[in-house]
């Protein structure tokens, strides 16, 4: 059996974990809205048409903030189409995903859904085909109490209280040639800065996210970030990052190493932000919003077969495997280990579209494999992220060298008196014996050792077998004289929870 060692200590703190690290994303795309969160006439639909079974799965997942309404969709969206009486709302050609948008769900309905789901809205504005006026008017509609045109219009629609949306994205992936209204960094930076200024005139309490690169392989990365921040540094609080990974080559060892690319992406963006900070001699720190991240590749071929101009066609409906859940766990570990700078992150997306939750229109809802690492991180990954020192066997792949077989994060909650280890064994063939020195946590005992494992890397959860890949609490973790010991099956995801022994 291979062996790995880890050291954790409360003095080695990375930073407090912002609860918005456990966010998600709902776009007007495919069946995310229609047939996903919203399905009037469904046996589980509530009085507003929202599916109660989906709401329950979202609440259980502990999603803290949800980015809306896009995504590529937002770059052609007129938010005014989705307010007021439904009978008068237009049906539009939605160019980003070549669908028909019926506008049955808009900002008011989504804000209501978010309240039901126990989460907050992270609103995106259209800086593709629109700009300053549309953005400032939307802020007024959402957040101003009353006595003005747009706030009184909201009140007339039956929403007397402001929605109070505080986090806003200044467009989406504006560096991408696929984006409606694609811009150069100079064009976008100027527009984003002026839009930010106007939005904060309406509501100075807003937190704003500037568009960073769509992924780290963009030819303009990281010059895009540097140029955009030159224009927006004084007006925004975050810059965004997006990334998706796939296993098209069916090389699992290489696939599970791709979280290392995410780690390098974050480090480069942090360095670029701090370069601009130094260049401007600023005391302000720009934080990161990793507001799109996930595994995405299974549905590419199926999407090519979907006929255009349908309402809610089945797009991006990846069916996730056990190995996908392992990489999602590794990506969560990466986010936790960057808690000092990554303050917001959104698993993209939430329902049906590259999502942890799947539904059948008219039928049931169920949790995909990737649901469980996110559930564990959201539930137990609150507190202070500690910097773990890990000594692990390593391996090389086609794209990566010195990949640690064991990777992990540690979270200390001083208020609850808990220490939680999140650990993945990447080895596809051998168990690993982990020994973690945590001597500063004297008097702690193991509360629970959760394990997600399966003999089949390609195992999935389906409508008819929704519990095929689920975690169990049968891990063998023990603690003795401040050393936590556990066996990590090959391969597997682990959550080892410790707490103080009651006196």
Positions marked catalytic = 173, 292
Residues 6 or more apart in contact with residue 164 via CB below 8 angstroms: 142, 143
Q: Is the dihedral of CA 350, 459, 259, 317 positive or negative?
A: negative
Q: What length does the chain have?
A: 503
3-state secondary structure of 17: coil
- Parallel, antiparallel, or unpaired for β 238-245 and 207-210? parallel
Alpha helices (H) in 410-477, listed in sequence order: none
Helix, strand, coil shares of the chain, percent, nearest 5, are 30, 25, 45
- Is the backbone of residue 119 left (phi > 0), alpha (psi -120 to 50) or beta? beta
Give the tokens for residue 479. Answer: 């603690």
The total of other beta-carbon atoms located within 10 Å of residue 80's CB is: 18
C-alpha 20/C-alpha 64 separation (Å) is 6
C-alpha 373/C-alpha 124 separation (Å) is 27
Cα maximum dimension of the chain? 70
C-alpha 174/C-alpha 180 separation (Å) is 8
Give yes or no for a contact between 56 and 63, defined as CB atoms under 8 angstroms apart: no
- Parallel, antiparallel, or unpaired for β 365-367 and 394-395? unpaired
């Amino acid at each position: 059996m291979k062996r790995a060692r880890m050291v954790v200590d409360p003095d080695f703190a990375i930073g407090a974990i912002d609860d918005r690290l456990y966010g998600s994303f709902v776009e007007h795309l495919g069946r995310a809205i229609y047939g996903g969160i919203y399905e009037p006439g469904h046996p589980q639909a509530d009085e507003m048409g929202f599916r109660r079974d989906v709401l329950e799965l979202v609440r259980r997942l502990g999603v803290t903030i949800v980015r809306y309404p896009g995504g590529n969709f937002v770059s052609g969206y007129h938010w005014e189409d989705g307010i007021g009486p439904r009978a008068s709302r237009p049906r539009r050609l939605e160019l980003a995903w070549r669908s028909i948008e019926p506008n049955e769900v808009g900002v008011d309905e989504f804000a209501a859904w978010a309240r039901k789901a126990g989460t907050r809205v992270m609103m995106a504005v259209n800086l593709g085909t629109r700009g300053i006026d549309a953005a400032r008017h939307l802020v007024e509609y959402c957040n101003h109490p009353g006595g003005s045109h747009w706030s009184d219009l909201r009140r007339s629609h039956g929403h007397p209280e402001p929605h109070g949306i505080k986090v806003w994205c200044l467009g989406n992936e504006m560096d991408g040639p696929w984006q409606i209204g694609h811009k150069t960094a100079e064009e976008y930076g100027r527009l984003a800065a002026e839009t930010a200024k106007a939005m904060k005139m309406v509501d100075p309490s807003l937190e704003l996210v500037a568009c960073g690169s769509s992924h780290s392989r963009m030819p303009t990365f990281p010059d895009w970030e540097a140029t955009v921040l030159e224009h927006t540094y004084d007006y925004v609080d975050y810059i965004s990052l997006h990334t998706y990974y796939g296993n098209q080559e069916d090389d699992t060892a290489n696939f599970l190493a791709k979280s290392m690319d995410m780690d390098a992406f974050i480090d480069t963006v942090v360095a670029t932000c701090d370069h601009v900070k130094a260049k401007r001699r600023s005391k302000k720190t720009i934080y990161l919003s990793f507001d799109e991240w996930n595994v995405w590749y299974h549905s590419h071929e199926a999407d090519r077969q979907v006929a255009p101009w349908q309402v809610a066609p089945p797009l991006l409906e990846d069916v996730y495997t056990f190995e996908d859940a392992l990489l999602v766990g590794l990506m969560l570990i990466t986010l936790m280990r960057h808690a000092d700078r990554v303050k917001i992150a959104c698993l993209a997306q939430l329902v049906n579209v590259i999502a942890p939750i799947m539904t059948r229109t008219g039928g049931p809802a169920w949790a995909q494999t990737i649901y469980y690492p996110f559930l564990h991180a959201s539930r137990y990954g609150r507190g202070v992220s500690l910097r773990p020192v890990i000594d692990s066997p390593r391996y090389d792949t086609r794209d990566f060298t010195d990949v640690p077989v064991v990777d992990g994060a540690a979270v200390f909650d001083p208020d609850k008196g808990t220490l939680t280890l999140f650990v993945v064994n990447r080895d596809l063939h051998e168990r690993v014996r982990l020994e973690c020195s945590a001597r500063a946590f004297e008097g702690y005992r193991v509360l629970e050792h959760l394990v997600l494992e399966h003999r089949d890397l390609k195992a999935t959860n389906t409508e008819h077998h929704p519990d095929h890949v689920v975690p169990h609490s049968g891990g063998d973790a023990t603690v003795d004289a401040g050393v936590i010991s556990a066996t990590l099956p090959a391969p597997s995801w682990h959550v080892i929870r410790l707490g103080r022994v009651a006196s």
